[in-house]
Structure 1
Amino acid sequence: MIEFRNVCKSFADHRVIDGISFTVGTGEFFVLVGPSGGGKTTTLKMINRLVEPDSGQILIDGHDIASEDVRELRLGIGYVLQQIALFPNMTVGQNVTLIPELKHWPAAKRMARARELLGEVDLDPREYMNRMPSELSGGEQQRVGIIRALAAQPKVMLMDEPFSALDPITRTQLQELIKRLQRQLGITIVFVTHDIDEALYLADRIAVVHDGRIAQLDSPDAIRQSPADDFVADFFASPRERRDR
């Protein structure tokens, strides 16, 4: 589905991504985790060309995305941010149907899709379709942000620390929601977080990103049981394990 081939990226004289190579399988929940400044978000943003690599290749379904039309590429990839970024002057329904409208879906199909997805995230479309973002809680806004990213049925969804600004209860609810939706829809998700528990709960595989390189890429259980080096071991250690070292 997604393949990075020896990808590098620098900003000024700082090498942010240093020759990383990996693949993300179709339908996989793939989590990039690591300390701040390690290159997680830069890696994510290169998938939809918000950041362009200096060298190497990124392929989706075998096609080099450097040769793709940027607008069409981005319309085919869902994107959810920590900053929910709903359009404040548009209703919930208008926000959800924005990408399908840009892709020229008929109005009836757009509205049916919005109602379907609102129901999937426990927001009654009869109550929420015509609400404004300002009338929603933070958790409700993020639910709308998630289904807006799903509305045009993308094969890939990128999520950049989407739950980190939410309270713990809402965060847990949305983690359970996105995991259920991912399995139900079979969508490929690339998810960035610095939260170890979130990564362990959500991921099929985890890429531990450190200083622009992948320190380890494996299943959650394999990383916990057999960390590749001291950095990974310490990063995944519990507070008690750190104190005991």
Structure 2
Amino acid sequence: MNNGITITTPSVDPVNLNATLNVKTHVINQSTQTQQVQVINRLVDKSGSVLLKLSDSYALPAGEAFEFNQIGGIEQGLKLWSTDDPYLYKLNTLLLVDGKALDVADNNVGFRKFEFDQKHGFKLNNKPIKLIGFNRHQHYGYIGDALPNSLHKKDMQQFKELGFNVVRTAHYPQDDALLKACDELGILVYEEAPTWTGMQNSGKWWDNLEASARTMVRNHRNHPSVIIWGRVLTTEGMYLSYIMRSNKKTLTV
């Protein structure tokens, strides 16, 4: 079952500069009576103009959950997200109950098309690019993992200045501030599930792997910088399988 807000871009056309946007919003009625729930999603560009508005209502019975599934598109003038020009739109999600605003959330949205091609290698927005990357641990001496957001962004700014365009989170999911910095700076992300120590063939280990991988995807699924999820499939030879993200939803989390 999904939770929260899930944002995908089922189609992105880098030639004609149009795209579709799919927003799924999971809502639970925790009251003791049926409530009229409305979800309004607005896609806003950097100038503050609303380019797309999606609105739906549903009479949600007490104690039940419902997922709003809204889809719309930008038909022309789309600004693409890339490593050279990481253009970000803002998606504003407003939840109303019986006509009164109850909750609001903002998410950045980047429209990009990527693929791995046997002939041309990695392509972003139909253009082959050379991936120049690095591994990154998020702990600092005398600080550990308790980093302020500014140090996550500082690392990414320095790597960007050195000419890197992709980062692998070695060897575990990292703070949301890192992903946010990569979204803003135009750095691609290959994120790992925390499976590199204590590998076993026991059922409990595999259950933990499954749970941690789902948590990783749920936490960071809306970041346009993420292009690959990593997951260990077997202990023999430390073989790794890579789950490539696509513009369509391919994994139920």
TM-score, length of structure 1 as denominator length: 0.30
Q: Which has the higher contact order (CA 8 A, sep 6+)?
A: 1
Greater percentage in strand: 2
Q: Which has the larger radius of gyration?
A: 2
TM-score, length of structure 2 as denominator length: 0.30
Greater percentage in helix: 1
